[in-house]
Amino acid sequence: MAAVDRGISIDTSMGFTPLEGLLMGTRSGDIDPSVILFVMGKEGLALNEATTLLNKHSGLQGISGVSSDMREVIAEMKNGDKKATNAFDVFTYRVKKYIGAYARQWEESTRWCLRVGLRKQPGRTACKHRESRIPGNGP
């Protein structure tokens, strides 16, 4: 996620790698670093296995157990899948946290645009997460 002012990126949720920041399709996003050590010890994972877990099997995919594609998560959510609902809720909660942090820094901003590519096919994005679940973001 990025804060953009007059076409210039002035902040981003990513850090040293895209693993930091907003939860993604298969990436964990922000987590307590001790979680990594705990899981490595409990599951007997090597460093490269833990890296793969965090980058390829976490995020929407890991929480929902359905897909890394937001459209598929939303479809399962509509079917009453609690894990899919939880994945969606975690994602929107974290989006709100970042918007809140950015808004506090740049109070003069009057518009927000959320463009997230959680997709399997280029050129397609999910829109449900941009709707009313983010209070205060009117049309």
pLDDT, tens digit, for every residue of 31-87?
999 999 999 999 999 999 999 999 999 999 999 999 999 989 999 999 999 999 999
**DSSP annotation string for 5-52:** ETTEEEEES--SSTTSSS--SS---S--HHHHHHHHHHHT--HHHHHH
Would the pTM count as exceeding 0.75? yes
Q: Share the mean pLDDT of the chain.
A: 81
- pLDDT at 104 (0 to 100): 75
Rounded mean pLDDT of 99-116?
67
Q: Residue 29, Cα to own-chain centre: how many angstroms? A: 6
Which of 89, 23, 118 has the alpha carbon at shortest distance from 31? 23
Give strand pairing partners of 110.
none
pLDDT band at 13 (very low <50, low <70, confident <90, very high): confident
- pLDDT at 133 (0 to 100): 46
Rounded mean pLDDT of 5-23?
84
- pLDDT at 117 (0 to 100): 54
- pLDDT at 103 (0 to 100): 78
% of the chain beyond a pLDDT of 90: 49
- pLDDT at 111 (0 to 100): 58
